Amino acid sequence: MKHATHALLALFLASCAKPGPAPAGAPDGANGEAGAAQDVRVTIARAADQRRARDVPPASLHEHDPAIRRLAARALARIQDADDAPLLGALEDADDVVTAWAAYGLGESCKGHEDAHARALAARLASFDPARGASVPVDARIAILRALGHCGGDVAEQTLRAWLRRTDAAPFTADAAAFALGDVASRRGSVSLESSGALLDAVQRSPPVDAALYAFGRAESVGAEELGPRLLAAARAALDRPGADRFFAVRALGRAGADGAADLGRVLASSEFTPPERAEAARSLGRLHKAGQSALLGALGTILPGRGDQLTGDLPGILRSALGAVSDDRPPHADAPLWAATRLEAPPGSAPALVRRVSQVRCEAAEKLALGAWDSDVLRGCDVGDGEAGEAGRLAALDRGELTKARRGAWLDVTRSTHVRVREAAIEVVTRHPELGSAALAVLADALSSPQAGVVAVAADVVHAHPDRLYVLAASERRAALDPRAPPPTSHPLQELDAGIARAMRAALAHAWAPDLVETRMALVDASLALSLDEGRAYAQKACHDPNVTVRTRAAKALAAAGEKGATCPPPDAPEEAAEELGHEIAHATRVVLEIDGATLGIRFDPSLAPVAATRFVALARSGFYTGVVVHRVVPGFVVQLGDRGADGYGGSGVPLRCETSPVPFGPLDVGVALAGRDTGSSQIFVTLSVQPHLDGEYAWVGHADGDWNGVAEGDVIRAVRVEE
């Protein structure tokens, strides 16, 4: 967002800080009032954490003190109770912050109420003076516009277009309307012609609204035939305007047709653009087929260093984005940059981080050159480190062809990898290769028996996707085939679930998975019901009463798919255990310093909006939890994710963390709680590398990072952690 919106965020955070104790020496009456107010605050905080709207005092929404009303509206927005009347009432509050929280909550709970919520939001928006300057501490117009984007529908889209077109409105509202139209486009998969026209008008007016290009990057289809030339012109012009929103121009060029390839190649090759913009340019070129491949390989040849020891800073991420976008549709005789990448060397005695980066770049290039030849020399010799990059490259090559004979044996070798992410990727390959037959049964059974939550989850997902492949000829049919007195076989012989799969699945269901391993538990619900196991139905029924809303929702859906009519999983009557951090939250933003393979990086955890989460992460840092943790996910230009000691993104600390989401933007180096659904946080966090409006409101904002996070690579290790007191 523009700087004005970031200023609003800072003010919003300040408004949500925890109130301090009553001043010393205050009169008894003042102390009594302060004590009563503090009791109300504690009650509201507990109700929000335990997801119990009934425990939010109704009078708190009508308190004279706006701070109490704000806390109540925030709690109800996060609880998302079926009864939306309190939030609809709070939407009319005279305080902008109360209105903002109410709008956010109505947007997040729009499903099933899209038209009603959109009409209420649009009506409230119409009551504001469009030209009024930004209010303190937060502007409700931004929250309402973004909420309309979450609701979608004709009323929402028409309202958003109207506000985007207004020339009498405050400039920051145009950004919010543009982002909201991007939310609509993302849900629909396309940008309507009417909205496309409004967006292009906005980006081409004076002053331009560069945020209007965001929507074109969120849609799969943008009507390039009708709008391509105009979109191309608008995106090209925006490239000359540095700022956070220029990222959207780069992405839009990839949707504007092949004529944008040269511009994207220029972005990728030039250090005048930011690392996220260059990484996005590479991905956008990958969408443009032959024209994109030509520009991509030309830029790759320009930026590829001559020596492996030059793979430092943000360059490896940019190179990997470019290599990942290379396709088989590239021009003939254009492989010179790929061959050059495979010849990069790590000097003797190089640090593990450099060796890892060299191996990743070499093996990405080698896989493109191998064209499915998994046993080619270029792939066999690409990894100069611990073998993970080489195994990943061979697996990608194997996945290109049928897994039979020698290729099947090579795949089986990869399924036994000691690198958990490679093993999980090899298991997932089963979904695309039915020819694996019985070989897949043993691999899946072994994976389901694993103590690693992620391995089990991936295997269970494969089982759920293809339960039919796990049945074998029944024992009675096999005996009959050996009995000369038996009648001839029928065209539909009896089948039964493979015994190894059945044993492993039952063992996985009986395992005591930690409460925060939500993805694993949900995957087992789906898989066991797909196999019609009796134990699976009992497991799903138990999940139906789980304290976690995401588990209950998934259980209800799985039971309905398994034929249980009217399957519902209401929340339990008894309240959940309140978070241990309640009442013990950190009082101020606290910086945690991470030494990640030679780089010193920081995260300032801010309790203003997510006090429980911020307190949890600081406590985990103090305990040494993050020391030795591997950075398991990096998408250059987008996000860095860490916090799982299992190194694959499925694990946590053992204790669930409920969501403290907020209507605030995610800009470069903002920090959020990684999730697999509502209330599924634990110990994992992410750091955004660029403006990412689609994350706004969907994840809890917990602070801001500092340092060169663009230089972090997958596999980097947190060597040391320090909390600045």
Taking CA 663 as the corner, what is the angle to CA 659 and CA 669, rounded to the nearest 5 degrees? 85
Is the separation of the CB atoms in 645 and 629 below 8 Å? Answer: yes
The amino acid that residue 513 corresponds to is W
Q: Which two tokens stand for residue 673?
A: 């709680």
* Alpha-carbon gap, residue 152 to 155, rounded angstroms: 8
Whether pLDDT at 252 is above 70 = yes
pLDDT tens figures, 528-540: 999 999 999 999 9
If DSSP states are collapsed to H, E and C, what string results for 153-195?
A: HHHHHHHHHHHHHCCCCCHHHHHHHHHHHHHHHHHHCECCHHH
Q: Report the percentage of the chain scoring pLDDT > 70.
A: 94
**Beta strands 670-673 and 639-642: pairing type?**
unpaired
Whether pLDDT at 350 is above 60 = yes
Q: Between residues 136 and 714, which one has the greater pLDDT?
A: 714
Whether pLDDT at 20 is above 80 = no
Q: Kindly state the average pLDDT of the residues 558-571.
A: 92
pLDDT tens figures, 183-224: 999 999 988 999 999 999 999 999 999 999 999 999 887 765
* Alpha-carbon gap, residue 188 to 170, rounded angstroms: 28
Taking CA 613 as the corner, what is the angle to CA 46 and CA 179, rounded to the nearest 5 degrees? 105
**For residue 395, which of 384, 385, 383 has the smallest C-alpha distance?**
383
Q: What Rg value do the Cα atoms of the chain yield, rounded?
A: 27
**Helix 261-269, helix 289-303: angle, nearest 10:** 20
Q: Report the percentage of the chain scoring pLDDT > 90.
A: 86
Q: What was the pLDDT predicted at 25?
A: 44
Give SS3 for 198. Answer: helix
Q: Which of 361-365, 495-499, 592-596, 659-663 has the lowest mean pLDDT?
A: 495-499
Give 602's strand partners: 593, 706
User: What is the CB-side half-sphere exposure of residue 28 using CA atoms within 13 A?
Assistant: 0
pTM for the complete prediction? 0.93
Average pLDDT, the chain: 93
pLDDT tens figures, 267-284: 999 999 999 999 999 999
Residue 404 dihedral angles phi and psi, to the nearest 5°: -130, 160
Q: What was the pLDDT predicted at 19?
A: 46
**For residue 518, which of 631, 632, 678 has the smallest C-alpha distance?**
678
